[in-house]
Each structure stands twice: as structure tokens, then as C-alpha cells.
Amino acid sequence: MSYKVMVINGPNLNLLGVREPEIYGKETLDGINNELKAYAEKRGADIEFFQSNHEGEIVDKIHDCLNKVNIIIINAGAFSHYSIAIRDALKAVNIPVIEVHLSNIYKREDFRHKSVISDIAVGGIYGFGSLSYKLALEAALDFLKI
Ligand code: DQA
């Protein structure tokens, strides 16, 4: 059986590379995803990517993961700080979750210090720019014992 990893990105992350590069870096989301795909394939895992600016679409994608995906890596962007709907969807499917942020959310504005996903995640990685995703993938593969 091959393991499946789902990488979900929330609002405004489609603009990586253009959006506040001093905070989020110059790499595009496609660039990051290509690197993750190459690494996952080398390790024998299937990986899929989804990005949406819409809360309900992210909830639907999490539901789609039921019985298909072994672990979810999510950067829910601003939704991380207040979307109970995304938190509830992650709890509902009961799939292990790793939370990612490019920036160190604890060094930024107060409203970014709280994540409604952190306490239901296996763990989280923040503050390392695009490397945060690679570290999260490494953690996901380790969690799955691949
Ligand atoms: C982010 C941090 C969030 O506070 C912000 O709203 C984002 C990106 C990050 O990756 O650092 O959209 O999740």
C-alpha cells in the first residue's frame, strides 16, 4: 500500500513569491510543491496539493480526504487563527495533521499568536519560510514510518 500525503494551503498563499516577500520569501507555491513532490516520490509516498482562498472549499477538500489520505499538511493562512469550521473538519475526518507556517506567527501581531489548529495537530512547524514545508513533509513521512 502506498501512503498518501495531502498538502493544503489556504488564502493568499497562491501569491507566494509576490506577496510580502520579506515575510514569506520569494519562492512560489508551485516551486515549493514541485520540490515536495520530488522528495515524496523519492521516498515512495504519493502527494497531492490543494490551494483555495475559500473556507468552504478547504472544508470540502478535508472531507474528500476521508479514507483516501494518511496525513494532512496544512497551512491554513489567516484561517489558522479563527476558522472553527476548518478545525472541526480536521477533527471530523480524524486524519493526522501537521500545521505549517512560513513565518514565525509568535513574533508577529497578537492576532496571529493563536492557532485553532495547533492543539489538534500532531505537531507544527513555523518560521523557516519554504523550508517549513519540507520539514513538515519529513515529519509526516517519519510519522507514517516511511
Ligand atoms: C501564514 C501566517 C498567517 O498569519 C497568515 O495569515 C498567512 C500565512 C504563514 O505561513 O506564515 O497567510 O500562515
Instruction: Go through the domains of the chain in sequence order and give each one's CATH number.
Output: 3-143 (3.40.50.9100)
**H-state helical runs in 43-103:** 55-64, 84-93
Mean pLDDT, residues 80-99: 98
Give me the percent of the chain exceeding a pLDDT of 70.
99
Q: Tell me the per-residue pLDDT of 32-42, one tens digit each, with 9 for 90 and over.
A: 999 999 999 99
pTM of the model: 0.98
Instruction: Indicate whether residue 23 lines ligand 1 (CB < 6 A).
Output: no
- How is residue 56 written as a grid cell? 468552504
- CA-closest residue to ligand 1 atom 12: 77
Residue 111 CB partners (closer than 8 Å, separation 6+): 81
For the chain, counts of helices (H) and of strands (E): 5, 5
At residue 138, what is the residue type? Answer: E
> Any idea which residues carry the catalytic annotation?
24, 101
Distance in angstroms (rounded) separating the CA atoms of residues 1 and 47: 14
Q: Does the pLDDT value for residue 1 go beyond 90?
A: no
62, 7 in Cβ contact below 8 A? no
Supply angle C-alpha 98, 27, 89, rounded to 5. 30
Question: According to the model, what pLDDT value does residue 67 have?
Answer: 96
Question: Is the CB of 9 inside a 6 Å radius of any atom of ligand 1?
Answer: no
